[in-house]
Structure 1
Amino acid sequence: MLTSLTAVFALAPVGCWLLLARTERQRWRVALGLAVLAGLSFPVLAGIAFAGIDRVVWLGYVPLTALVILFARRAEGWVAPRSRRALAGRIALGLFLGPVWLLVVVGWWIAETEPAPPSVAEVLPLPAGVAVVDARRTGCGSSYCGRTVVVVGPAGESTVDTMRRIREHLLGTKGFHDAGPNSVSKQHRLGFGGRDLSVDMSEQDGRILLQVGDGTNARG
């Protein structure tokens, strides 16, 4: 269902233009260009590829395609045909530029400013020989959500050495920076303000607890 709605969102500018176009030649040339842009953007919009730029594509898709349509209308001449089709096109474009884009912006604002339990993938893969025992425990409070990842090191290795290896691994390969003897952190979800992702390590009954936290707004 969500993928279908994303496809409708991506193809909406094509429909708007087909309703607004005055000349056959411009209609299909611009429609083809918008369809190609929709095809290139869809994998990102649907979360299939290039997840790191999804926010940019989601927020920029509406104004970019609207500019393409407006420039194409200018090339045809601003006078619109007096027809129900043209009226429907203007209404559709207005809805796309107004309520639809507003929903996209608000949706991203909520997604990037509200805390959510971090995924265990934030710390995976772990160093060689370190295994995850449990990662199901989560909890949320005011402006904070966390996940407890319980891990064990290889047989014969002390928990101190295992924690040291995990810490060095997170610093060296996962983009974290030093936040204390047994802690690392980094900024993630960089959109509307950004948030801090932290990992605090402790030992309990021969196991290591990784407290992965999605913290308060890093720029607030």
Structure 2
Amino acid sequence: MADAPTLTRTHPLEAWRPAFTALSDGMGRTDLAIELLPLTAALDVRIEPGTDGATAVADLLGVPLPASPNTWTSISDGRAVWLGPDEWLLTGAAASDEESVRAVVGPHGGTAVDVSAQRTGVRLRGRDARRLLAFGCALDLRPASFPPGSCAQTLLGQSGVLLLADREGDGPDSAVLDVVVRCSFAGYVAGWLLDAAEELRPIPAGPVTDSTDQEGDGT
């Protein structure tokens, strides 16, 4: 009997990787790169803030759940992202242990649901990352209004997305923005990003021509 085939998990946007790489390598003077976010475990947690259940989750994670709206904090190799007054998205190693999280929130009326297959995303890097998103997002994405550690559920083009601002290093060139989207809309968002990025390409310099009337005196 033949061995069963081995199934390999494929990124929902794997087919778009070459186009993102070509864009990042060929933008000329524009400072923009787009790459796929790695696949990671994700857990949607609902628990009333300020309760023993929220404290139990904080003890499990090693850090409190973010209490300020539209912010996220680092947890081990992932994030705890504020989604609502009583809802957070956990990613990374902590999210892979669904049973442990459910065990601490369940007795306090909370829930923990594995949503690892629900969303996927891309990472935008560079000075023009915020400019690109501004073409299709109504939020003020300037660093002063959307600094590192911020997150927001909003529209990008015609798709709902979760935006997260991160940073590696200092200065405007170090901007890092993650765009997380439901898998069913991922292809649309990928295409939108590539199309919008064309607006950032520098216009090729053409030959200098005389602007005067070629047949007259320029009047």
Q: Same fold (TM over 0.5)?
A: no
- TM-score after normalising by structure 1: 0.27
The structure that is helix-richer by fraction is: 1
Which structure would you say has the larger Rg?
1
- TM-score after normalising by structure 2: 0.27
User: Which one scores higher on RCO, CA 8 angstroms, separation ≥ 6?
Assistant: 2
